[in-house]
Structure 1
């Protein structure tokens, strides 16, 4: 047994215990299985295609404008990313599955460029009181689990929050108690995870600043799901607390994918992400895998994703270099 490592883990959990208590969540996460990892931290860069939202939407309306997913892959290769995260919204025919011929052509294109495909993602609403809305989300996730398997993507991002036309989870849930809503979420995610297990895919549940805006809430949901094919996607800009880095540290050991944002609140007035601090937390958690970045327009005039993602990649690389000696 590595005594120092065990002591460090104990001290970390003890320091974060107040988060569970403050969030009204049971701290009994010892039985909550985290991904098994060996060999220390190993991180690879990726870009979430959502960074090119406006250009991808323009291309969907007029193929002579903007950029398509093949172009995003080209950009990633030219810029030096290790992988690309291909958001489902930008595939032809979404929310339906694209033709297999399209998927395999895109998969081969990424492979020829030396890019991994770190994940994909869809929209779903599992906090809605209407069972039909939740069922629609389950069917969509199951469809895109199969799409992910064909692409070779290890994860499919799922939301744990309300979607349009609802403004927040309380409205979507018609003011049902939080525990009731968490049960709706857990039941839907567990059904999707069971389907994902058949295809070797993992449901990556994203915090999005609505039903889940703390690390304790994130883990509470995952514990209630309690399925090996369901884990966390950590959105570093959507833990709406006084110290989001503490929430990130709490959930990082259970992460299978990330969305690293420019700021800790996904808005220009919120603090800029301290990349060295963030990557240090990720390394200490023992996480191995892709760390996708995602930039957003955030109301900035003249927002250019090519410029902003390149700048952010340089910051991420600096953070990776500065923390290289950190071990779990």
Structure 2
């Protein structure tokens, strides 16, 4: 297991300009992180080869790897022209991943409003999703890059839907970025879902959530699941996910790749990220 941090965890500091992405790389290394996952929020790599080069150099100097490049995407569009344009846009993001020197890239595949996320709608959209993912994966294969779908965005978030997309795309370099917490957004138990999908993971995100039932709306800082329950980001090990069991499942599966902490709690982001990384390291050693 290679423990690191998603740059998304430091989004508030990046957005406020408290730190920049190069300083974030050094900060992660100083906390004992072995890699950084690049999520272009609070900064952009589009049309900026100088920044890409600087990121690679800073990571090398800091002695950590760049593990994964994660971007947003949505292949559900109003017109065929928009659909083709989105495929081409994501391919250009593959070019950025290649310039970063990474061999893993996560791209979202589809998003719909919660009231349009039925299984019937998923089945109707599946052919378009599969075709687009194949186009991107085949292009990424020319660089030796494995692309992945994350359980993310309500529509493609349940473990069975992720498995279905991967099985239909049917490319050896198309897998899943397995986020242990995101299953809860569609009211799926994280332990059961991780067991289902761990064999398909090219990358793992470790995050934690507090969970409250639908009849107990805690107010500001919480967001609803598809069934109307409530979630709030937590420091890893502080929330309601059975983190010890999750870590045990991952470790016993034989997974030995990158594990990226994603902190999105209300605490100050550097403090929350550091405690999360320390807790995960301890839990891994104890598993």
Instruction: Tell me the TM-score normalised to structure 2 length.
Output: 0.84
Q: Secondary structure at the match of 2:208?
A: coil
Distance in 2 of aligned mates of 1:269 and 1:155:
25
CA RMSD of aligned residues (A): 2.4
Contact 2:38 2:69 in 1 (8 A): yes
1:182 correspondence with 2:126: yes
1:258 pairs with one of 204, 207, 231: 204
Matches within 5 A, 1:203-218: 203-218=147-162
Distance in 2 of aligned mates of 1:322 and 1:253:
22
1:229 correspondence with 2:180: no
Contact 1:275 1:315 in 2 (8 A): no
Q: Secondary structure at the match of 1:88?
A: coil
Which residue of structure 2 lines up, in the alignment, with residue 307 of structure 1? 271
Which residue of structure 2 lines up, in the alignment, with residue 98 of structure 1? 48
Contact 1:207 1:233 in 2 (8 A): yes
Distance in 2 of aligned mates of 1:237 and 1:248:
9
Instruction: Tell me the TM-score normalised to structure 1 length.
Output: 0.74
Which residue of structure 2 lines up, in the alignment, with residue 248 of structure 1? 194
Tell me how many residue pairs correspond in the alignment: 263
Which residue of structure 1 lines up, in the alignment, with residue 13 of structure 2? 55
In the TM superposition, residue 205 of structure 1 has moved relative to its aligned partner by: 0.7
Distance in 2 of aligned mates of 1:269 and 1:306:
14
Contact 1:128 1:169 in 2 (8 A): no
Q: Structure 2: where are the runs of 5+ without partners?
A: 212-222, 224-230
* Pair 134,259 (structure 1): closer, same or farther in 2 beyond 3 Å: farther
Distance in 2 of aligned mates of 1:116 and 1:254:
22
* Pair 212,152 (structure 1): closer, same or farther in 2 beyond 3 Å: same
1:277 correspondence with 2:245: yes
In the TM superposition, residue 210 of structure 1 has moved relative to its aligned partner by: 1.2
* Pair 132,310 (structure 1): closer, same or farther in 2 beyond 3 Å: same
Deviations 1:143-189 (A, max 9, x none): 12111112121211111331xxx634828x9x983222111111111
